[in-house]
C-alpha cells in the first residue's frame, strides 16, 4: 500500500523540517514539502516521524519470568532463570508476540531475538518465533541461542578444581541444526533473518564459534554473541585463553562488520581498539547491566574510538521490560556520570541515530534501513506530539529521548506496511494476547532456586565476596 | 465517602494476601479477608493495593523546559534554565497541574514541590500552586525555593577573584515572605503543607538558614534543601566553610528528623554518620543525577548507616519526566553497579517501602501516612494487574518496580477521596490541560544560552576541564 504522510516534522541538521513523505512499494520515494499525494494521505500535523529503532538484543521467552528473579548477578541470576524455565511452544509463541508488541509501541521496528531453544524442539521453537514475528509484522533477526558447555562452566574456577557436566547436545549437531534453521527460515527479503549466535565465550568452544563463522560466510549471515557482560567473564577469559575474550575472538575470526556483541562491559582499551578495527558493533543493554550489577559499559569510550553502538532491552527478566525508549534514555544518560566533561555526553539526536542507523549498521543493513533516506525501506514510526508526556512543546526529540513517553507511538510501518494505527497494533489482537499471557501464568512470588543455593558458595569465593 | 475494596492483593511478609480494605472517614478502618462492605464496594480482583508514593523532590514549573536543555552539568544547566524561564502565573498553574497528574498516574499521592517563585509575585505563585494541587486533590508539600545569593555565587571561585551581583531581595524580606506564606497556606489537615526550603548552601547565607530554622520551630514546619548535588558544590563548601556542607548544616542546626535533603551525591563517610545521627532524610533523584552528570548517590551506604531514603523525580527539565515509577526503578537498580555484593542490593519490596513509608518519614508524617495500616489516612493506589506491561503474572511488586508499567494505575485515593478512577484523573479535565500546555508553548529547538557562554570558561577552568 502506498501512502503519503503530510506536514510531518522530521529531524533536519540541528533543527526540524515540516515535510511530506511519500512511500511507494515499501520504500521511501520522496521527502520534501508539498509533495503530490501518492496513495493514502496520512495527516502528519503535530507528529514527529523517525526511522524505526532496533531492539538489538533480547531473549523473548524471558518475558515469562519478568519481575520475579531477585537481585542477583548474572551467573546466579542465570541459574535462577533456568530453574524456573519450563518453556513450551505456546509460551514461545506468546512471549514473541509480547516482545514484538512492546518493542513496536516504544518505537522499535526491528528485534534481534537471541532465542532460547527448547531442548528437543529446537527447530519448532525457531519456527514458532518466526511465525509470531510474521504475524505481528515486525522485522525480526532470529538468533538461536546456542552453546556447547554446561551452565557451571561459565563461572571462573579460581584456585579450585571444577568438574562440569558435558552439554547435552554435541557441537556438530548444534551446527547442523543451525544450518537447517537457515535453510528453512532465513528470508531477509520477507523480513526474517537468521543470525549465528553462540551465547558467548563463557559457554562455547572454539569449535562452535568456528562452525558459526563458516555458516556466516557460506550463507551471508550476521553474527551475534554476548561479550564480557560481567567481571566473572573477564576472569574466565583469562583462565580459558590467557588473554582477553576480545583478543581471542579476533584471533579465531569472529569479529567483523556484521558482528554485533551484546553488553561489552568489561573491555580494555586494547579491546576497544580491536572492536573499532574489526568494525564490530556494541549492543548496549543499560537496564540489564544495572539490574544484574554487571557494570556501566564504557560507551563514551566506544564512541570516541569510532565503535558503532546501538541499544537493546535484553531479555525481559533482566530489565524487566521491553520498552526501547527506556533503554535509549538510560543508555544515553548513564554515561554522564563516567566523564566530567559534558562535551563528551551523548545528545538526544545522537541517541536516536544510535538506536536507528546504529542498529542497521550492526546488522549489515545500513544501506536499506536506519534513516529517513529516499530509497531506503519504509520502517517508520510516527509519534503523536500532543500527548501529555510530550508536552509542553519544546524539542520533540528531546522530549522523546529524555522524557518518559507514554502512549505516544501513533503509527508504525515496516517495509511500508502499517502495523500500528491510532496507537494500536493492527495485525494481532492485543487484548487476546493479554488474556493468554494471564491464563498461562499465575502469581508466583516466593521462588527459591535450588541451583543458586548449589553454586552460590563457590561464586562468592571466586568473586571475593565474604 | 466510605468504601470497601474487596478481594485485593496486598503485600504481606515475603508474600501477598488477598483481603478487603475498609476506608471510613478518610482513614483505613479495617484490613482483613471477607469484611462487611462499608460504603461503596470496589472490585479489587486482579489488582494490587499499595500505599501512595511520595514524589519527594521536584520543581513543578520546570515542566516548561523539559526536553530542551542540552547535556550540561548542574551549574551550566541552571544558567540555561534561567535564561529561558519567563514564567507567568498561568504557567505556574498549568505545570503544577501537569506535575500532579503525572505523579498520580505513576503511583504518587504526595508531591514535594520545591517551587520556583516569580520575582515580585511570590505569594501569588505559591497561591497558584496551592490552588492547582487542591483542584487535583493530590497531597502537596509546597516548598518555596528561596535563596539570598545570586547564581554565579554557586560556582567555586578556585584560585580566582570572583564578584557576584547581590541578590535582588534582602534576606529579611525573604523570611517575612515565608512567614506570610505559612500564615496563608499551611493547612496540613487540608492536604497542603508549607516547608522551609532554602535552595542549598551554594546560594544561601547562614542568616537565611537560621531564619528558616526559627520559622520551622515556631510553626512546626518540615525543612527541605538541596544538598551536595555536584562535585562543584563539594568544592564550594570547602571554600565557604572550611568543612563539608553537612558538617556546617549540623553546626547551624538545620538537620533534624523533619529535614529532607535532595540529591546527597557527594558526602563523606563522616557526613553519612551525621545524617544518620540527626535522623535526616535523603531524597534520591537518580534520573536528574544521571542527566546532569552529578554522580551516583551512595544510597547503599545510606541504607547501611540507617539513613532514611526516599525518591524524587526532581524538576522535569532535569529528568525530563515526572514518572515516579521510573525514578523508583532506576533509583533502586542503579546501585547494583556500586557494590559487587548483591546481598546489599535494594529489593523491590524495599524500594516500595522507601517510596512510601520513607517519604512519610521525611515529612514527619510516618504516623499518618506511608503504609497500609489501620488508622492511617487512606492515600491509596490500586494497580490493574491485567495490563500488558504487568503480564505474565509473576510477582506483582517485582513487575511494578522492575518493569516499565504503562497505564497501570487504576484508582487513586488521597485522604479517602477518589481522584483517579478507571485510569483517569476525575478532578480536572486532562484533555483540556493538554490543550492548554500545547497552546502555551511552541516548538523551540535550537536555543543558545548567553549565560552559559558567559560562565562556561570559568566553570571549565575550576573543574579542571581542558
Distance CA A249, CA A253 (A): 6
Give this prediction's pTM: 0.98
Report chain B residues whose CB lies below 8 A from the CB of A288. none
In whole angstroms, what is the distance from residue A158 CA to residue A239 CA?
Answer: 8
Task: Note the pLDDT tens digit of each residue in B134-176.
Answer: 999 999 999 999 999 988 888 888 877 778 889 999 999 999 9
For domain A3-50+376-427, give the fold.
Urease, subunit C; domain 1 (2.30.40)
Average per-residue pLDDT in chain B?
Answer: 96
| Three cell numbers, residue B331 | 533509583
B446 touches A: beta carbon within 8 Å = yes
Residues of A in contact with B394 (CB under 8 A): 64-68, 441, 443-445
- Architecture per CATH, domain B3-50+373-428, reads as Roll (2.30)
Nearest chain B CA: its distance from A455 CA (Å)? 15
**Which chain A positions have a beta carbon within 8 Å of B295's beta carbon?**
337
Dihedral Cα A258, A261, A267, A272, nearest 10 deg: 20
Work out whether strand B15-24 and strand B27-32 pair parallel, antiparallel, or are unpaired: antiparallel
User: From the list B290, B392, B440, which residue is nearest A63 (CB)?
Assistant: B392
Say which of A67, A294, A401 has its CB closest to residue B399: A67
pLDDT score of A392: 97
CB contact under 8 Å between A463 and B9, yes or no, is: no
What is the least distance, in Å, from the CA of B135 to any CA of chain A?
Answer: 18
Q: For residue B326, which residues of chain A lie inside 8 Å, CB to CB? A: 326, 404
Domain with CATH 2.30.40.10 in chain B: 3-50+373-428
Report the C-alpha gap between A287 and B440 in whole angstroms.
35
Number of H helices, E strands in chain B: 16, 17
* DSSP secondary structure letter of residue B266: S
Q: Is B406 on the interface with A (CB under 8 A)?
A: yes
Percent of chain A clearing pLDDT 90 (strictly above): 92
Q: Where in chain A is the domain with CATH 3.20.20.140?
A: 51-362
Residue B424 at interface with chain A, using a CB cutoff of 8 Å: no
Inform me whether the pLDDT recorded for A28 exceeds 90. Answer: yes
Give me the mean pLDDT over the B449-461 stretch.
Answer: 92
Q: CB atoms < 10 A from the CB of B76, how many?
A: 24
What percent helix, strand, coil does chain B show, rounded to 5?
Answer: 40, 20, 40
Q: Are B96 and B113 in contact (CB under 8 A)?
A: yes
C-alpha neighbours within 13 Å on the C-beta side of residue B6: 10
The Cα of B102 is separated from the nearest Cα of chain A by a number of Å equal to 8
Interface test with B, best of A320, A322, A338 (most B CBs within 10 A): A320
pLDDT in tens, B321-375: 999 999 999 999 999 999 999 999 999 999 999 999 999 999 999 999 999 999 9
CB A118, CB A423: distance < 8 Å? no
**Beta strands B139-144 and B192-194, pairing class:** parallel
B87 — contact with chain A (CB < 8 Å)? no
Report the CATH superfamily, name and number, of domain A51-362. Answer: Metal-dependent hydrolases (3.20.20.140)
CA-to-CA distance for A194 and A220, rounded, in angstroms?
Answer: 10
- Chain B nearest CA to A120, separation (Å): 25
Q: What is the per-residue pLDDT across A330-358, written as a single tens digit (0 to 9) for each?
A: 999 999 999 999 999 999 999 999 999 99
User: B 300-319 residues with CB below 8 A of A?
Assistant: 319
CA of B405 to nearest chain A CA: how many angstroms apart?
A: 8
Asked if B391's CB is within 8 angstroms of A438's CB, the reply is yes
Cα B319 from Cα B315, distance rounded (Å) = 7
pLDDT at B180 over 90: yes
pLDDT digits (tens, 9 = 90+) for A418-448: 999 999 999 999 999 999 999 999 987 677 8
Residue A100 contacts B where some CB pair is shorter than 8 Å: no
Nearest by Cα to B350 from B57, B6, B11: B11
Q: What is the pLDDT of residue A85?
A: 66
Q: Which residue of B has its CA nearest to A74?
A: B342
Cis bond upstream, residue A320 (ω within 30): yes
Q: Which CATH number fits domain B53-362: 3.80.30.20, 1.10.760.10, 3.20.20.140, 3.90.550.10?
A: 3.20.20.140
| Residue intervals in chain A for CATH 2.30.40.10 | 3-50+376-427
Residues in A 195-224 with any Cβ partner in B closer than 8 A? none
User: Is the Cβ of A347 closer than 8 Å to some Cβ of chain B?
Assistant: yes
Location of each CATH 3.20.20.140 domain in chain B = 53-362
* Touching A: B residues 361-390, CB under 8 Å: 386-390
Whether this model's ipTM surpasses 0.85 comes out as: yes
Which residues, in sequence order, are bridge partners of residue B55? B111
CA dihedral defined by A72, A76, A77, A79, rounded to 10 degrees? -160
- Collect all residues of chain A within an 8 Å Cβ-Cβ radius of residue B339: 293
Amino acid at each position: 500500500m502506498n501512502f503519503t504522510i503530510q506536514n510531518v516534522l522530521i529531524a533536519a541538521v540541528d533543527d526540524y523540517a515540516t515535510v511530506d513523505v511519500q512511500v511507494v512499494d515499501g520504500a521511501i520515494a520522496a521527502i520534501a514539502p508539498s509533495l503530490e499525494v501518492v496513495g493514502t494521505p496520512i495527516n502528519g500535523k503535530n507528529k514527529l516521524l523517525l526511522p524505526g529503532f532496533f531492539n538489538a538484543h533480547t531473549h523473548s521467552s524471558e518475558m515469562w519470568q519478568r519481575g520475579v528473579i531477585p537481585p542477583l548477578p548474572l551467573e546466579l541470576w542465570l541459574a535462577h532463570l533456568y530453574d524456573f524455565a519450563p518453556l513450551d511452544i505456546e509460551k514461545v509463541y506468546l512471549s514473541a508476540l509480547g516482545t514484538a508488541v512492546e518493542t513496536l509501541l516504544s518505537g522499535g521496528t526491528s528485534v534481534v531475538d537471541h532465542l532460547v531453544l527448547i531442548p528437543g524442539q529446537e527447530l519448532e521453537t525457531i519456527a514458532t518465533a518466526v511465525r509470531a514475528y510474521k504475524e505481528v509484522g515486525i522485522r525480526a533477526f532470529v538468533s538461536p541461542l546456542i552453546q556447547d558447555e554446561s551452565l557451571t562452566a561459565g563461572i571462573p574456577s579460581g584456585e579450585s578444581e571444577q568438574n562440569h557436566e558435558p552439554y547435552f547436545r554435541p557441537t556438530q549437531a548444534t551446527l547442523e541444526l543451525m544450518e537447517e534453521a537457515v535453510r528453512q527460515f532465513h528470508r531477509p527479503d520477507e523480513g526474517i533473518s537468521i543470525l549465528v549466535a553462540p551465547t558467548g565465550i563463557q559457554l562455547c568452544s572454539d569449535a562452535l564459534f568456528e562452525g558459526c563463522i563458516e555458516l556466516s560466510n557460506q550463507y551471508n549471515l550476521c553474527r551475534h554473541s554476548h561479550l564480557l557482560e560481567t567481571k566473572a567473564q573477564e576472569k574466565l577469559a583469562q583462565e580459558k585463553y590467557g588473554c582477553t575474550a576480545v583478543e581471542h575472538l579476533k584471533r579465531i575470526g569472529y569479529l567483523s562488520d556484521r558482528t554485533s556483541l551484546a553488553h561489552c562491559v568489561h573491555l580494555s582499551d586494547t579491546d576497544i581498539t580491536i572492536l573499532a578495527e574489526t568494525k564490530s558493533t556494541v549492543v548496549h543493554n543499560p537496564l540489564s547491566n544495572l539490574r544484574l550489577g554487571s557494570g556501566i559499559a564504557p560507551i563514551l569510550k566506544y564512541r570516541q574510538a569510532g565503535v558503532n553502538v546501538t541499544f537493546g532491552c535484553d531479555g525481559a527478566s533482566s530489565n524487566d521490560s521491553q520498552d526501547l525508549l527506556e533503554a535509549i534514555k538510560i543508555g544515553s544518560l548513564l554515561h554522564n556520570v563516567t566523564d566530567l566533561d559534558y562535551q563528551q555526553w551523548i545528545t538526544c539526536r545522537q541517541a536516536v541515530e544510535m538506536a536507528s542507523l546504529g542498529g542497521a549498521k550492526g546488522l549489515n543493513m545500513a544501506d536499506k534501513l536506519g534513516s529517513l533516506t529516499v530509497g531506503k525501506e519504509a520502517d517508520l514510526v510516527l509519534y503523536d506530539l500532543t500527548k501529555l508526556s510530550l508536552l509542553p512543546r519544546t524539542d520533540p526529540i528531546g522530549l522523546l529521548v529524555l522524557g518518559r513517553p507514554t502512549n505516544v507511538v501513533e503509527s508504525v510501518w515496516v517495509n511500508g506496511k502499517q502495523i500500528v494505527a491510532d496507537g494500536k497494533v493492527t495485525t494481532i489482537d492485543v487484548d487476546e494476547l493479554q488474556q493468554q499471557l494471564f491464563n498461562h501464568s499465575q502469581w508466583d512470588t516466593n521462588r527459591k532456586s535450588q541451583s543458586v543455593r548449589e553454586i552460590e558458595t563457590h561464586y562468592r569465593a571466586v568473586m571475593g565476596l565474604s
